[in-house]
Structure formats: C-alpha cells, structure tokens
Amino acid sequence: MSDFAPHFERLSGLLARHCGDWQRLPFACRTLPWPELAPVLDALSESELDALENNPEAALGLLAPYRPEITAEQHWPVAELKRASDYATPRWSNGIPGRKWAQIRDFAANITTRHSILEWCAGKGHLGRLLALEQGQAVTSLEWNADLCRQGEALAGRLGLEHRFYCGDALAPEAARLFEPAQQAVALHACGELHLRFLEHGTAAGTQALALSPCCYHLIDGEHYAPLSAAGRRAGLTLSRHDLRLPLQQQVTGGERVRRLRHTELTWRLAFDELQRELTGCDHYLPLPAFPKQLLSGDFTAFARWACEKKGLAMPAHIHSEHWLAAAESRRLLVKRIELVRHLYRQPLELWLLLDRALFLEERGYRVILGTFTEQANTPRRYLIQAHRRP
C-alpha cells in the first residue's frame, strides 16, 4: 500500500463525517448552523474574530474541544523540501517581486535533471530561464499570451539561452504533444484545470519527471471535481467549485488597507443581498461574481447599480444605503463566525486534493514526494509534488 493511502483514507472519512461544517454557504445562512458552538462563537467580538482568522493555531485551540477529531489531522507531518541557498537577484530578474522571486528560487532548488525541460503555463518564463541557466538544459515554455512570449524570448536571447516559447493554449488538445518521455516538466502555481491537464498529459506521455505546485483548485471545467485517483473516486466526496475555494481562503500578506477592503466587500455583498431579497421577493441568497476592487473605492449605491446590472434586476430610483448597510452589520458577524469553523478544514481539504494527485501519479507508475518548497511567508500555496517514473 502507498504511504499516502492511509492518511488519504482518514481524511476522506473526516471530511465526509464533518461535511456539515465546511460545505456551507456562509452568505446564505441567516442563523448559526451549530447550536452547540453558539456559546463560544457568539461571545467573540469582531476584532476577536479577525484576530483568530489571522491565527489558525489559536482558532484550532478554541474550537478543538468541540471538534477534537480535526486536531490530529492539522498536524500531519509534511516534508520540508530544499530551499535556495540564497535569494540574490540577477539583473534579468528586475521587476519580479521579492516573494515571487523567492518562490521561483526555492522551486528551482528542487530540480536536478539531465533532460530537456518543459515549463507549463510559463508567463515570461522566469522559472524556465533560471532552470536553463542552472541546469544547462534546453527549455520549452508554454504560454498563451503572445506578448509575454515575446518578452520571454527577448530575455532568453540576451542571455544566449536555449530557451524557446510555444505560444498556445494549455487546454487545447495539441498541448499534449509538448510532453516527451525523456523530459523534466515543471509547473509553478498552475491553476485548476491547467495543472490537471499537466498531470494527465505528462503521465500519458510517460514523462520522466514531473514537478507541480498546484493553485486555484476551483478553476475546473465542470461544476464538480472529478477525482484523479481510484482512491479518490472510491471516497465518494462531492466537491463543488465553492468547496474547492476553501483551501484558498487564507492570506499571508496584506496590511491595514487590505483589511479595510475585505471589510467593505463583505459588508456591501451582504447589504446587496438584503436589497435583492426585497427587490425579487425571494428570500434566498443571490451570489455575485468577483469584481474589480476599484469598485470598492466608490459608494454602495454605485456597487448596488453594478450588482443589479449583473443580475438583471431593475435598479430602484433611490436606494437608502444606510438602511441596507445597517442590515448587513449583524450578518457580517454571523458570516465571520461560520467562516471560523469552515476554515478549520482548509488544510485537511487541500491535503486531500494533493494526495489525490499523488496517488494518481503512483497509480501511473511514478515515485512521488510531497512536501513544502518555500516558506509560508512567501505564499500559502507552497506544496510541491515531485514525481519520477519508476524504471
């Protein structure tokens, strides 16, 4: 049996038994779903809720007596992989933010190969360029944005590297032809369907080595996640796109301005939900899509106008903003209390998704290592899956 399989089975059972905790739409709730948690959650002020949100260990300690089973799974040991020996910035890396450069350097520190390299969803090819310099191998970078390809080619040309760009769609069938058996394929923070295709194409081609740091699990083609591994399919978990967003609801960076924007966005979304219930006469939550954050620099009336247009609702001639914002106040605290419980399951769900990928690779004949490749301060998406084809 795989070393990953027992933990995957435990996680599957835990997530299934406690699906009522994490498979919630907090915005759709009008009351706290867990009466047994009301004494501890209702006693928390908004500032205390915000502090706990930024301190997962403290939140776990507060709620562990009510959810003891979750505690053990939070501390499952994950290997710490190699880190870069230094983070010096060469001239060609000018313009790459410090945390992003640290991620690139740490990812590259885990790659040693005698094969050509395929960089999946490359952007300007910063990772591929570093690997071309360090490994002395030819690199092919796949990127759909033609302007980024041109910039990447110019940078590679100035350094005299054997680094070419393939401008194309990673989701198109022809992208599979870029994978070869004698090859090291890499994908740093490839989103959702993009990294699922990376794994499928790489294993189908028998590519010698694959290195993947997954991101944005919810960006998939279907409405629900289709597990890759046989064990994942047997687990029987039904994961919606909303569920798959849960591991991403963790911020590492962000100052006071970011905190204020989050507060405003949450309040305005809830205020609009109160408004739309009156406009439609339907007492059900109406979700809004993501929107440009500059919309939050205006006033609530402008936001409500945008939301009505998005949802095809007739905008009232006058909106009593203060009324709807006041109606959102109590619901904002309720949402934060529900999210505090849901967020206990961020790490278990992300590990479940990672192990599903690791078990899939093992089923396809690969030896797999799963660990963290960079520090938490650089990015919460710091897991690396490394797979090498068995002889």
Q: Is 317 exposed, middle or buried (0-12, 13-18, 19+ CB in 10 A)?
A: exposed
- Confirm whether 258 is domain-assigned: no
Co-location of 106 and 173 in the same domain: yes
Which pLDDT tens digit goes with each residue over 37-51?
999 999 999 999 999
Residues 93 and 58 in one domain: no
Report the CATH number that the domain containing residue 378 is assigned in CATH.
3.40.50.150
Structure confidence at residue 293 (pLDDT): 86
Q: Specify whether 325 is located in the same domain as 376.
A: no
Q: Write down the pLDDT at residue 75.
A: 73
- The predicted-structure confidence for 132-166, as pLDDT tens digits, reads as follows 999 999 999 999 999 999 999 999 999 999 999 99
Q: How many CA atoms lie within 13 A of 229 on its CB side?
A: 23
Q: Using the predicted structure, report yes or no on whether residue 128 has a pLDDT greater than 60.
A: yes
Residue 257 inside a domain? The answer is no
Residue 45 domain boundaries: 5-77+272-344
* 356 shares its domain with 338: no
| 181 and 322 both lie in a single domain | no
Determine, yes or no, domain membership for 365. yes
Q: What is the mean pLDDT of residues 22-45?
A: 95
242 shares a domain with 120: yes
The reported pLDDT for the residue numbered 252 is: 54
- Comparing 252 with 258, the larger pLDDT belongs to 258
What one-letter code names the amino acid at 46?
A: E
Q: In residues, how long is the chain? A: 391
Q: Is 177 left (phi over 0), alpha (psi -120 to 50) or beta?
A: alpha
pLDDT at 102 over 60: yes
Same domain, 282 and 331: yes
In a domain, 72, yes or no: yes
Mean pLDDT, the chain, rounded, equals 94
Q: Is residue 251 part of a domain?
A: no
What are the tens digits of pLDDT across the range 335-383?
999 999 999 999 999 999 999 999 999 999 999 999 999 999 999 999 9
CA dihedral 166, 170, 174, 179 (to 10 degrees): 70
- 99 and 191, same domain (yes or no): yes
Integer Cα distance of 266 and 273 in angstroms: 11
pLDDT of 294 > 80? The answer is yes
Q: Answer yes or no: is 261 within a domain.
A: no
Q: Which of 121, 261, 97, 304 is nearest to 195 (CA)?
A: 121
Give the contacts of 36 (CB within 8 A, at least 6 positions apart): 66
Assess whether pLDDT exceeds 70 at residue 254.
Answer: no
- The dihedral built from the CA positions of residue 386, 388, 389 and 391, taken in this order, carries a sign that is negative
What is the residue type of 81? Answer: L
Does residue 291 sit within a domain? yes
Q: How many structural domains compose the chain? A: 2
pLDDT band for position 255 (cuts 50, 70, 90)? low
Residue type, 211: A
Are residues 224 and 282 located together in one domain of the fold?
A: no
Residue 39 sits in the same domain as residue 180? no
Q: Which tops the pLDDT comparison, 72 or 238? A: 238
Residue 298 forms part of a structural domain: yes
Q: Are residues 331 and 363 in the same domain?
A: no
Same structural domain for residues 35 and 163?
no
Which of 24-28, 37-41, 105-109, 204-208 comes out lowest in average pLDDT?
24-28
